[in-house]
C-alpha cells in the first residue's frame, strides 16, 4: 500500500473577532517579557535609580540597550523619567503605578529562572548530546 495525496480544498479561516487584540497583547508581552526589561523592572522595584546605577546593577547590558529599554518602558507607561535641574542634570528612572503592578509577576518569573537553572542546564545538555549522535 502506497501513500497517496488527496487534493482537499483549503477552508478559508473564519475571521477572529479578537485578532487585533492578539497582536496588541503580543506587542505588550514582547516588551515586558524581554530579558532587559525584566532586569530593569526588577532593579527599579525598590525605588528610583539613575542611569549609571542601573547600568552597574544589570550585568552585561550595553549603554545603548539600556537607553532603548528605558525608552520603550517609558513609552509603554511602565517607567517615568524625571530630570532634576542640577549641573550636571540628574535623571532618575522610576516605575509608574502600572510598572509596579508588574513587580510581582516579574519577580516570580526571575525567581523561577533562578530556582530552575540547574534543571534547565541539564535538559539542554541532554538535548545537545542527543543531537550530536
- Which helix H or strand E contains 84, and what residues bound it? strand 79-84
Q: How far apart are CA 133 and CA 125, in angstroms?
A: 13
Q: How far apart are CA 95 and CA 44, in angstroms?
A: 6
pTM: 0.73
Q: From residue 50, give the alpha-carbon distance in Å to each of 25, 35, 40, 45, 106.
A: 30, 19, 11, 13, 21
Hey, which residues does 50 pair with through a beta bridge?
92
Q: 91-110: per-residue pLDDT in tens?
A: 999 999 999 999 888 888 88
CB–CB of 82/53 below 8 Å? no
Q: 69-89: per-residue pLDDT in tens?
A: 999 999 999 999 999 999 988
Amino acid at each position: 500500500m502506497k501513500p497517496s495525496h488527496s487534493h482537499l480544498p483549503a477552508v478559508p479561516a473564519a475571521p477572529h473577532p479578537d485578532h487585533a487584540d492578539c497582536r496588541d497583547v503580543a506587542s505588550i508581552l514582547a516588551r515586558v517579557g524581554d530579558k532587559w526589561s525584566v532586569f530593569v523592572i526588577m532593579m527599579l522595584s525598590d525605588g528610583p535609580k539613575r542611569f549609571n546605577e542601573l547600568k552597574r546593577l544589570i550585568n552585561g547590558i550595553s549603554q545603548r540597550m539600556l537607553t532603548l529599554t528605558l525608552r520603550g518602558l517609558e513609552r509603554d507607561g511602565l517607567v517615568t523619567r524625571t530630570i532634576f535641574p542640577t549641573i550636571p542634570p540628574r535623571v532618575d528612572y522610576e516605575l509608574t503605578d502600572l510598572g509596579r503592578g508588574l513587580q510581582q509577576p516579574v519577580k516570580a518569573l526571575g525567581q523561577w529562572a533562578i530556582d530552575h537553572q540547574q534543571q534547565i542546564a541539564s535538559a539542554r545538555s541532554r538535548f545537545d548530546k542527543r543531537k550530536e549522535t
